Amino acid sequence: MKIDLIVGARPNYMKAAPVYRELQKYPDEFRCRLVHTGQHYDEKMSAIFFRELELPEPDIYLGVGSGLHGEQTGRIMIAYEQAILADQPDLVLVAGDVNSTVACSLVAAKLHIKVGHIEGGLRSRDWSMPEEINRIVTDNIADYLFTTCRDADANLLAEGIAKEKIFFVGNTMIDSLHYYMPKIDGSTIHTQLAVAPGNYILITLHRPSNVDQDEIFRGLFNALEKIQERLPIVFPMHPRTRKMLKEFGMGRYLELPGLKITEPLGYHDFMKLQKQAVLVLTDSGGLQEESTVLGVPCLTLRKNTERPITIWEGTNELVGPDPDLIFSRTMAILDGNVKQGRIPEFWDGHAAERLVAVLRQWNSR
């Protein structure tokens, strides 16, 4: 079976790497071509992840770069269509919910090539999120939907997706967490940043709904200003966030003594910081899942989440962008009022094995 495994943006790499590694165990059954769209393309957002996740150089690099959603999606479709026509695969495997995911899925579907969606069925019910549109479109044209949790199965069935297309395999991103833990534990990032393990808060902030709106953005940083007086905050800052701080004239926040701002970090260093944080503040999807597995309290700075299992079963709490709630709940956690969680079913480091077992069964027909 000829498979194109698509990666394009930072969240894809951790989900795709275990699948790529598992496919390589069966060279007589699969020929896997790694296709990088170039949606994320610089050293800190892309190249370092390829090295640390032990992915080879892409077989195909589309090099589309950044741009508005429609522009970027269109460029990916144009470039990938040419690649797929030159050497047509039997299956296109996409992961997550970025523009590369939906763009490559659409190209494959229109050429009558099977599509497999890693992390299918997640729903935020928030149509203002571009990612929600990408998820729904991809799921509705996919032939194989590999889900991370039972509620994702239920979402797909409620939308009329045929049961025989849905495969609950678990969370491949957590496979990466398990597999690379020795290297994560070997990171010296705490020494580099001069922070003590277990004595800081970790934050990530990048979603347009938080950083592109002046009033919300200021409110979030006002909360951080108060929090950093109690405990240091480590802040690997997304390029978009840094850009908006300057545009809104909020540069003074960069000088807060308890805010340790860094460039985006590699996977091993970032996971070491997350593992030994007292608390994670984030508007990311993946951190909600990783913090649940690591047993670290997480406050999600969004009004909704496509990963509610991290709230039902994990350590995550939804607080939205409300500065008062963020501050009060942070203080409560620092004072010991910590939500206990458990690791969801099949988040055990073997999701890629179950996924590839499905493909082997299909391939043997």
SS3 content of the chain, % helix, strand, coil (to 5): 50, 15, 35
The tokens describing 161, both together, are 């997706």
**Global pTM?**
0.95
Strand partners, 236: 262
Same domain, 194 and 149: no
Q: Is 176 inside any structural domain?
A: no
| SS3 call for 153 | helix
d(CA 141, CA 108) in angstroms, rounded, equals 9
Phi, psi at 163, each rounded to 5°: -60, -35
Q: Is residue 45 part of a domain?
A: yes
- 15 and 155 in a single domain? The answer is yes
Pair (149, 222) in one structural domain: no
Structural domain for 325, as ranges: 182-334
Q: What is the mean pLDDT of each run of 10 residues along the chain (365 residues)?
A: 94 94 98 89 69 93 86 95 96 96 98 98 95 97 98 98 98 98 98 97 95 96 98 95 95 96 95 98 97 98 97 98 98 96 98 98 90
Annotated catalytic residues are: 206
How far does Cα 207 stand from its chain's mean position?
12
Residue-level pLDDT at 67: 81
Specify the number of domains making up the chain.
2
Q: DSSP 3-state assignment of 326?
A: helix
pLDDT at 217: 97
Say yes or no: 266 and 149 in one domain. Answer: no
DSSP-derived secondary structure for 293-310 = HHT--EEE-SS--S-THH
What residues pair up with 282 in beta bridges, in sequence order? 204, 300
Dump the DSSP string for 2-15.
EEEEEE-SHHHHHH
177 within some domain: no
> Exposure pattern of 143-177 as b/e (b: 16+ CB <10 Å)?
bbbbbbbebbbebbeeeebeeeebbbbbbbbbbbb
In a domain, 341, yes or no: no
Is position 340 within any domain? no
Domain shared by 190 and 98, yes or no: no
**Residue 252 belongs to domain with CATH number:** 3.40.50.2000
Same domain (yes/no): 202, 241: yes
161 and 209 share one domain: no
pLDDT, residue 45, reads 56
CA distance 314 to 285: 13
Q: Specify whether 81 is located in the same domain as 225.
A: no
